[in-house]
Amino acid sequence: MRVTINELKEMKQNKEKIPMLTAYDYITAKLVDEVGVPLILVGDSLGMVMLGYDSTIPVTIDEMLHHTKAVVRGTKKALVIGDMPFMTYHVSISDALYNAARFIQEGGAQAVKLEGGEIVAETVKRLTSCGIPVMGHIGLTPQSIYQLGGFKVQGKATQTAQRLIKDAQILEEAGAFSIVLECIPAPLSKLITQKTSIPTIGIGAGPDCDGQVQVISDILGLYTDFVPKHAKRYARLADEIKVAIADYVAEVKSASFPTMKHSTPMDENTMSSLNK
């Protein structure tokens, strides 16, 4: 039985912190799920960490669905959330409904995430009224980096802070079951968390959110092109992988791998008949 959105609300009410991670493939999702992480986001950050794009902007819905399907196949308990990519929910509410439904029907996700506050409220309301759970996302919204002028902390000034509080409240009213707060000053995130009854999930938003989300490639030390300030490396797998690959190359060149231990023998009589 998968984690439900009602269970997440109960976790907030019980002041139980909510861990969330991204995953983009079957094996990673399987490992994350087996550890017991309740929320897995198939983030459009896969554009950078899996596909090598410079940002999330080029990611298509077909690419997202491809990875979402793999993550769903690797999980049994976690609530899997599909990240709706750039311009798949902006043109019209009908477009947003169609694309969100693809995540649920084709991708197998149990919810979708979209960026924005008041501007997407009507879309959130429509999706949730049709039975599609929606996670909001405010603060630093990567799909708007050209408008924001880059990856910058949001909500430092009074006006923008007030807007973020309003955005969070409007998203809750529209039916969102949770909100990601990205790169927002910690005191502001604490205030938003107090002012909303749905769980807040922080990333670079301080310790007082109801939960935290990180990109799996960052915490495992797999993605080394750039390490965000908000990320903590719990492992350095890129270094370990390089060592393992170098060992493999050396053993192949020296003919020390493979050995008969890694090979299949053949019956001597059969071999004798072949040599006649």
HSE, side-chain direction, 13 A CA sphere, residue 195: 16
Predicted confidence band of residue 186 (pLDDT cuts 50, 70, 90):
very high
- The catalytically annotated residue of 10, 173, 182, 240 is 182
Instruction: Give the long-range contacts of residues 224-231, CB within 8 A, separation 24 or more.
Output: 225/48, 228/204, 229/204, 230/183, 230/203, 230/204, 230/205
- How does pLDDT run across 34-75, given as a tens digit for each residue? 999 999 999 999 999 999 999 999 999 999 999 999 999 999
Q: What is the mean pLDDT of residues 164-182?
A: 98
Q: What is the mean pLDDT of residues 146-167?
A: 89
- Verify whether residue 240 is a known catalytic residue: no
Residue 268: its pLDDT value, please?
87
Calpha distance 135→117 (Å, rounded) = 11
Residue 145: its pLDDT value, please?
76
- How does pLDDT run across 105-155, given as a tens digit for each residue? 999 999 999 999 999 999 999 999 999 999 999 999 988 877 877 778 889
3-class secondary-structure state, position 39? strand
Residue 146: its pLDDT value, please?
75
Reference 142, options 183, 175, 111, 176; nearest CA is: 183
Q: What is the mean pLDDT of the chain?
A: 95
Q: Which domains occur in the chain, in start order? A: 5-236 (3.20.20.60), 240-275 (no CATH)
Q: What are phi and psi of 187, to 5 degrees?
A: -65, -35
Contacts of 125 (CB under 8 A, 6+ apart): 174, 175
Residue 173: its pLDDT value, please?
98
- How does pLDDT run across 14-37, given as a tens digit for each residue? 999 999 999 999 999 999 999 999
Q: Which residues pair with 82 in a beta bridge?
A: 42, 112
Q: Which residues pair with 42 in a beta bridge?
A: 82
Predicted confidence band of residue 204 (pLDDT cuts 50, 70, 90):
very high
